[in-house]
């Protein structure tokens, strides 16, 4: 049953050193504020899972908190490389980073299997490519009817899922809308979860009969963090700060500029550090 | 009107698109080409981004695969597992776009790593949707600017499959999709040789010579018996594209 | 690309004798009008697929059009038996009916696999039960990671899917809402489809960003048939005619009363036969 | 107040339900028991119907598993594949309800066929959701009125598994869920013997004798060391149930 708490309490209570955590968000609704709290609390030796690790995971890696990353596309979308991730993979700085690499199709299926509590997912993929050579978790099964050989991937079952959503009602039900990615699957696949939200409402009110809702009893902690997805965005609340993503490239390129930025903006910051930026940039979102 | 290498690449790609295409669109040149087609000769084209947006009509180009603009203008937006299961694997996409850091003469692509996988010189972003876009879409267009470190005789890593080791490779793996049918570059257009599936030049952009093409290519370039001349971008194509890019730049600087 | 046409043309064009057809609808949005047109056109030797065959399939079976039924629960919900189905299975009247029987979980997964163009689905089911003894299509695979043995079912790939939906826009995009069942999967899994709808609108207008919509290019024929789901219902248009379902029991119990009812109400009827009943029973749906 | 056999069965079942239960509800007696609990002592109970409705609060009992009432009053409604994959198989349901045409002393149920499967005497509706409700829900309550053709020594067909051939059968199949923890009938309450998993009588309804129970049961009934007496339905329980049934009847006759 969902429990409303502060961000620091939620991270303290739900995430421990050495655990596997998925902070999901497919461009939309990336849980930046929660991820920053993880950095402030210096949770170490993490295995981080995400289809599209972007700046937030670059920050976790650059701060030396990550042992292993499970992913399918690691870059700054439309901009270029994740320099901290590259520094870890290419130079072992600040520490070696183990990679388990998949395709998007595999990861999406693996989350779906996790939400279904299946041990693995079956899909038609990885034809004629090299990833199966370097990832022993890419295997296959034979269709018992057609004989077709299909690819498999282990289900994703994180210890903790962290997502950002739009609204929660007073009972702790959580609503997402727009580009919903794999967030619902991540929460359902995880053993516990933290959900940051833009807004608490008494009742969701009139809505689609098929609205994307996580019932209260599927969620661990709920934390009210307006602007908590910035520089990502929240459908109907604020837009993606594309300028921030473009600007990140220069910040993260060098170890020193990265460390200085993290100190000023994250380590010395708080859960509402970015709220003014999120809503300062508010447009007809 | 003069134009850049990127502009002619984008415009040439857009010309091949029609109202009946269902396109799985990647960020960058593919997105520009698809939206240019939509704003010019193919207003009915269906654009799908892997973030889940079906039938989207952005007013500015997205910076990321999941900008709000894509969702706001879409027919509807599905979850990412559904996108990869029902829509891409479902075989409903007629045309996928790919780019990459490196390509070989059979249209195989590398976007994973330069050097050894376990000890890389350059760690690239990885495959993302590419491996299954390459196998599940009815056909694939590749858009890449030429340079000899990108157009390689042998790839260090195959992220997504084109024609494999040549004709028959796809069929041998049970694939019934066509794979890369066009490679659109800043200098020329490649298409697979019907006999070998090697990508050969079938049209050359205005002002480009065979020597210029070979200088940017790491394998010995072959040419079709009949090599066409790409019609130059029209003023109208350039105007629509530049207007789109200007709107986009303004929106993302905000 | 969806084509607007008449119901008789749609059935004539899309469905042929001997084909496999799924007329889906999980209590809600059952395509009665389209099914009745199939009966009027005397399509024979059909294989009919549905999770919950109810009165409509009882009618198809009773009229002698069905060779085989693939299903998971065949009854009149909350009322009792399907008497025409029982007569076919128990007495071979009006002809022998072959059954391929699954559980709901299996069928739901099989539609999902069909929509994904996978040849089969994997799920955790059929533990300690007898259905696998009598259905050779229930098989298993072993998880290549955990060694767990899981049940499999062949994907459902009908020749034709027939569903009833709420609205289509002028471009032929189709919207469903409410209890959406497996209808979207049925259409995506099928080689062609017929969609009857309550209403044609210029544009769907304001809606959830995640509305359940079948794009025009995934649909075969669209037919405007207000009331086409009666005695089932259409969310926001009319309610389920529960009294009709209760009353069907007596009609279908005897061969003669069934035949008389079918002649009067279906064979001598037309696509709009039930519209007045649907909207006559309109309440605060 | 006097009451019917069905009423006491429904009321006894409802008493076992709590605010923290997540129930997968079937049509008929389970639906009546769950909604009675919701309208009396367990207003926070979560009710799920396999048609996809999560957290529904119907004002009248549905006739079918997918009446509009269920969707109109639900927190949200998901597709049926999602219901069976993420919600039932996902292991999120604490309590499932089952009924059946026939039951054996280990709580295995038959709703498929009487007689030979290939040449049946009576073709029943089939399993529907039951096989996986029986294996995936945390525990299962069975509600059935007793009669000797229904409470059978040996079932012709096992549609859903209870305790199989007795203690250890579920574990041998890799199941970690409890299976049937209560069988609520019109005469008494059965619960599994901790030693053997055979369903044994743990409470008897008012006015019922052991002879009456045995007369309606096809196997030799066993009793717990301590057999309780079911408290009679209270006036308030009966009033809420009858009001619900009256509203329901009126709604479905319309």
Domain segments of chain D as ranges: 5-248
Residue A213: beta bridge partners? A175
Residue of A nearest to C235 (CA): A209
For chain C, what percent of residues have pLDDT higher than 70? 98
Distance CA D89, CA D86 (A): 6
**pLDDT band with cut points at 50, 70 and 90 for residue A276:** confident
Can you give the CATH number for the domain in which C180 is found?
Answer: 3.40.1080.10
Distance CA B45, CA C215 (A): 12
**pLDDT band with cut points at 50, 70 and 90 for residue A221:** very high
Tokens standing for A71? 């992913």
pLDDT for residue C282 is more than 90: no
How confident is the model over B190-219, as a mean pLDDT? 98
pLDDT for residue C285 is more than 60: no
- Count helices and strands (H / E) in chain D: 8, 14
Q: Cα dihedral angle (C166, C167, C173, C179), rounded to 10 degrees?
A: -20
Is C31 domain-assigned?
A: yes
Report how many domains make up chain C: 1
Q: Which pLDDT belongs to residue B123?
A: 97
Subunit contact B27:A77, Cβ cutoff 8 A: yes
Q: Which pLDDT belongs to residue D130?
A: 96
Is C108 domain-assigned?
A: no
Q: Which pLDDT belongs to residue A54?
A: 94
Is C18 domain-assigned?
A: yes
Subunit contact C213:B54, Cβ cutoff 8 A: yes
What angle, rounded to 10 degrees, do the helices at D29-39 and D235-253 form?
120
Longest dimension (CA), chain A: 60
Q: Model confidence over B25-66: pLDDT tens digits?
A: 988 889 999 999 999 999 999 999 999 999 999 999 988 888
pLDDT for residue C33 is more than 90: yes
Q: How close does chain A come to C168, measured CA to CA in Å? A: 17
Q: Model confidence over A105-130: pLDDT tens digits?
A: 999 999 999 999 999 999 999 999 99
Q: Model confidence over D36-56: pLDDT tens digits?
A: 999 999 999 999 999 999 999
Q: How far is CA D45 from the centre of its chain?
A: 16
Is residue C222 within 8 Å of residue C5, measured between CB atoms?
A: yes
Q: Which pLDDT belongs to residue D254?
A: 64
Residue A223: beta bridge partners? A196
Is residue A57 within 8 Å of residue A36, measured between CB atoms?
A: no
pLDDT for residue C284 is more than 60: no
Active site residue D198: no
Q: Which pLDDT belongs to residue D27?
A: 82
Phi, psi angle pair for C252, to nearest 5°: -85, -10
Q: Which pLDDT belongs to residue C279?
A: 86
Whether A143 contacts chain B with CB within 8 A: no
Of C89, C212, C239, the CB nearest to D123: C89
Q: Which pLDDT belongs to residue B252?
A: 82
Residue C202 burial (CB count, 10 A): 8
To test the contact with chain C by mutation, choose from D78, D79, D137, D174 the residue with the greatest count of C C-beta atoms within 10 A, namely D79
Q: How close does chain A come to B251, measured CA to CA in Å? A: 9
Is A110 domain-assigned?
A: no
pLDDT for residue C15 is more than 90: yes
Subunits adjacent to chain C (3 or more Cβ pairs under 8 Å)? A, B, D
Tokens standing for D113? 């066929």
Window 159-178 of A, Cβ < 8 Å to D: 173
**pLDDT band with cut points at 50, 70 and 90 for residue B187:** very high
- pLDDT higher at C3 or C272: C3
Residue of B nearest to C185 (CA): B86
Average pLDDT, chain D: 96
Of C34, B66, D180, D76, the residue nearest A218 (C-alpha): D76
Is C32 domain-assigned?
A: yes
Q: Which pLDDT belongs to residue A273?
A: 85
Helix (H, G, I), strand (E, B) or coil at D118: coil
Fold of D5-248: Glutaconate Coenzyme A-transferase (3.40.1080)
How confident is the model over D117-146, as a mean pLDDT? 97
Q: Which pLDDT belongs to residue A1?
A: 85
pLDDT for residue D105 is more than 80: yes
How confident is the model over C123-147, as a mean pLDDT? 98
**pLDDT band with cut points at 50, 70 and 90 for residue C60:** very high
Is C41 domain-assigned?
A: yes
Domain hosting residue C73, numbered range: 3-102+157-279
**Gyration radius (Cα) of chain B, Å:** 18
Contacts of A118 in chain C (CB under 8 A): 122-124, 150
**Burial class for B225, CB neighbours closer than 10 Å (0-12, 13-18, 19+):** exposed
Contacts of C188 in chain B (CB under 8 A): 86, 90, 92
Is A150 domain-assigned?
A: no
Please pick, among D50, D69, D198, D237, the residue that the annotation labels catalytic: D50
Is C263 domain-assigned?
A: yes
How confident is the model over C172-185, as a mean pLDDT? 98
């Amino acid at each position: 049953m969902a429990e409303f708490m502060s961000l620091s309490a939620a991270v303290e209570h739900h995430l421990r050193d050495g655990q596997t955590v998925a902070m999901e968000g497919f461009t939309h609704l990336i849980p930046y504020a929660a991820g920053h709290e993880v950095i402030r609390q210096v949770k170490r030796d993490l295995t981080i899972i995400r289809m599209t690790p972007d700046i937030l995971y670059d920050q976790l890696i650059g701060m030396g908190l990550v042992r292993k990353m499970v992913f399918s596309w690691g870059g700054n979308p439309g901009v270029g490389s994740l320099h901290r991730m590259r520094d870890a993979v290419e130079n072992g700085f600040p520490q070696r980073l183990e990679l388990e690499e998949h395709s998007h199709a595999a990861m999406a299926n693996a989350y779906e299997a996790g939400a279904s509590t299946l041990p693995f997912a079956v899909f038609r993929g990885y034809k004629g490519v090299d990833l199966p050579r370097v990832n022993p978790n890419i295997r296959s099964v034979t269709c018992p009817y057609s004989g077709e050989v299909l690819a498999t991937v282990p289900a994703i079952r994180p210890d903790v899922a962290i997502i950002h959503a739009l609204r929660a009602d007073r009972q702790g039900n959580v609503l997402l809308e727009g580009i919903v990615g794999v967030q619902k699957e991540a929460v359902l696949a995880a053993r516990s979860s933290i959900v940051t939200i833009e807004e608490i409402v008494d009742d969701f009110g009139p809505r689609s009969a098929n609205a994307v809702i996580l019932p209260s009893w599927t969620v661990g902690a709920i934390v009210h963090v307006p602007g908590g997805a910035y520089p990502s965005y929240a459908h109907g609340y604020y837009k993606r700060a594309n300028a921030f993503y473009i600007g990140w490239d220069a910040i993260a390129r060098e170890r020193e500029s990265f460390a200085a930025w993290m100190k000023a903006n994250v380590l010395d910051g708080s859960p509402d550090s970015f709220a003014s930026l999120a809503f300062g940039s508010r447009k007809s979102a | 009107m003069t134009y850049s290498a990127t502009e002619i690449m984008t415009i040439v790609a857009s010309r091949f698109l029609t109202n009946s295409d269902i396109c799985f669109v990647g960020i960058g040149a593919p997105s520009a080409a698809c939206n240019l087609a939509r704003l010019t000769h193919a207003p009915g084209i269906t654009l799908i981004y892997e973030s889940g947006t079906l039938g989207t009509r952005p007013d500015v180009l997205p910076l990321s695969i999941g900008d709000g603009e894509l969702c706001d203008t879409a027919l509807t937006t599905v979850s990412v597992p559904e996108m990869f299961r029902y829509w891409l694997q479902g075989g409903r996409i007629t045309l996928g776009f790919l780019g990459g850091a490196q390509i070989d003469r059979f249209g195989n692509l590398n976007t994973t790593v330069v050097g050894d996988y376990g000890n890389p010189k350059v760690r690239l972003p990885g495959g993302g949707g590419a491996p299954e876009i390459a196998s599940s879409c009815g056909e694939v267009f590749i858009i890449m600017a030429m340079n000899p470190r990108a157009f390689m005789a042998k790839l260090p890593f195959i992220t997504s499959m084109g024609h494999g080791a040549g004709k028959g490779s796809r069929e041998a793996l049970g694939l019934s999709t066509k794979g890369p049918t066009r490679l659109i570059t800043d200098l020329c257009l490649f298409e697979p040789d019907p006999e070998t599936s090697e990508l050969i030049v079938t049209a050359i952009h205005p002002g480009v010579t065979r020597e210029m093409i070979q200088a940017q290519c790491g394998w010995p370039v072959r040419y079709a018996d009949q090599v066409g001349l790409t019609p130059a971008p029209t003023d109208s194509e350039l105007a629509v594209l530049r207007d789109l890019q200007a709107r986009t730049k303004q929106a993302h600087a905000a």
